[in-house]
């Protein structure tokens, strides 16, 4: 029976090179958030504008203005959020460094209880505590992960912002396609293209999932179209109410 193909080599040299490069930081969520939000907000604008019988020129102006303004706003918010997460990590790390310096026995007891909770006991538990606390860097990293659920693979705020903005503009532009290319310039065409955009986002996400790309695509399309439907109904209801 053939062996299953592994995702990376386990030869000593290859392992050394891979570990020396450090862990990869994922910006997948920034891409997904940006893409879905871009498609939803632009679709809502297009659907509302078509319902109000606005001209193609006005629809494009409103749509493009939304892409640039909301896309930048979302990217800026993601930049600030990612930067705040990094600053919080540094704050908590400084706390652990201080505690290890001032109260090492108390920190060893924390280690002891952490690994006792993982099922270790007796001499094995004491060996783990001794080994981890013998290396300051390992000790701090262990406490950061076990106590706060945080690792040192910090995200680059600028990269997070750029991924968000790029996805927002790319997928947010799709509902505007019927008003740029020779396609039926109506809400139905925009709806179909927006659904395709959501499906594409989900299918792309499957690269980082164990699920089939079709399943991921359908799920994301359903979530996205639900959000788009809520946005459209809210806009349509306000338009009807305000007359």
**What local confidence, expressed as pLDDT, does residue 226 receive?**
81
The residue with tokens 């594409």 is: 200
**What local confidence, expressed as pLDDT, does residue 70 receive?**
92
Positive or negative, the CA dihedral 117, 134, 95, 109 is positive
**Alpha helices for the chain (secondary structure H):** 12-20, 28-51, 56-102, 104-116, 122-133, 136-148, 157-172, 187-205, 213-242
CA atoms within 13 A on the CB side of 7: 4
**What local confidence, expressed as pLDDT, does residue 235 receive?**
63
pTM, to two decimals: 0.76
Return the structure tokens found at 126.
């004491």
In 10 A of CB 231, how many CB atoms?
18
pLDDT tens, position by position, 89-100: 999 999 999 999
Q: Which residues of the chain have pLDDT under 50?
A: none
pLDDT tens, position by position, 29-68: 888 888 888 888 888 888 777 766 778 888 889 889 989 9
């Amino acid at each position: 029976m053939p062996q299953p193909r592994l995702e990376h080599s386990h030869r000593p040299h290859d392992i050394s090179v891979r570990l020396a490069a450090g862990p990869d930081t994922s910006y997948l969520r920034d891409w997904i958030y940006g893409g879905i939000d871009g498609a939803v907000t632009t679709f809502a604008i297009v659907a509302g504008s078509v319902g109000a019988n606005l001209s193609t020129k006005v629809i494009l102006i409103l749509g493009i203005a939304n892409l640039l303004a909301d896309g930048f706003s979302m990217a800026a918010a993601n930049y600030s959020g990612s930067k705040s997460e990094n600053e919080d990590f540094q704050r908590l790390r400084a706390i652990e460094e201080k505690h290890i310096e001032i109260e090492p026995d108390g920190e060893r007891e924390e280690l002891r209880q952490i690994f006792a909770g993982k099922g270790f006991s007796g001499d094995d538990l004491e060996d783990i505590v001794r080994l981890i606390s013998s290396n300051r860097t390992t000790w701090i990293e262990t406490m950061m992960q076990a106590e706060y659920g945080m690792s040192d693979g910090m995200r680059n705020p600028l990269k997070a912002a750029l991924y968000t903005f790029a996805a927002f503009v790319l997928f947010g532009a799709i509902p505007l396609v019927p008003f740029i290319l020779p396609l039926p310039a109506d809400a139905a065409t925009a709806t179909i293209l927006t659904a395709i955009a959501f499906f594409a986002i989900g299918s792309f996400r499957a690269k980082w999932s164990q699920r089939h790309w079709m399943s991921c695509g359908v799920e994301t399309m359903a979530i996205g179209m639900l959000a788009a439907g809520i946005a459209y109904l809210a806009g349509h209801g306000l338009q009807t109410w305000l007359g």
